[in-house]
Amino acid sequence: MKDSSLRRDVVFLFLLATISLCAGLLVNQFRDKPLPLVYQTKEERLEKSVQRLVESRAPAEEVSNQLPEMLSLGEFADFVENKRGLVLDARPEIFHRLGHVPGALSLPREDFENIYPGLREKLEADFSQPIVIYCANVSCEDATLLKKALVDLGFKQLKIFEGGWAQWESAGKLQEEGK
């Protein structure tokens, strides 16, 4: 009697787990952005986000490059102070709210697909304007990933401030807080 009761409970548990798994997979497939069933690197996730955004965008015009690929602190400070273009903060949005370069727009790599549409009008208003991207520090790769995503969207005048927020802050440069 005990043995058949245990067997019945195990079969019931197995069926319940199988039905739950199938229901979860089915619900995931009908989401706007289904969760991937296989691990994707941050580069792969960003690339998929960019591909979804590319479909709704017009091609950019060809422009000349007037800034070096990587900007030093002095070059970046001059760029910011003279408002020579847009500045993008690739760090997570919470860090942007705590402090950022004056006038910088928050476009974090990990939430690119959700935030880019809100900035689209400002970013795509003039494809010839220079855009400088910064991240947390020299070893942060989010600025490079964000630059690649924007190149894929057709932007041409993209540069990176190599020292990032850490160098800007340690140099005692002006900061803004909030969104």
122-150, pLDDT tens digit by residue? 998 877 789 999 999 988 899 999 999 99
Please name the amino acid found at residue 179.
K
22-57, pLDDT tens digit by residue? 999 899 888 877 877 888 888 888 888 888 777 655
What's the whole-number average pLDDT of the chain? 86
More confident residue, 107 or 2: 107
Q: Which two tokens stand for residue 145?
A: 């990933």
More confident residue, 36 or 93: 93
71-91, pLDDT tens digit by residue? 999 999 999 999 999 999 999
Distances (CA, A) of 125 to 37, 45, 86, 129, 160: 37, 26, 11, 9, 20
Model pTM greater than 0.85? no
pLDDT for the residue numbered 64: 43
Q: Domains of the chain, with CATH numbers?
A: 58-170 (3.40.250.10)
Q: Identify the band that residue 62 occupies on the pLDDT scale cut at 50, 70 and 90.
A: very low
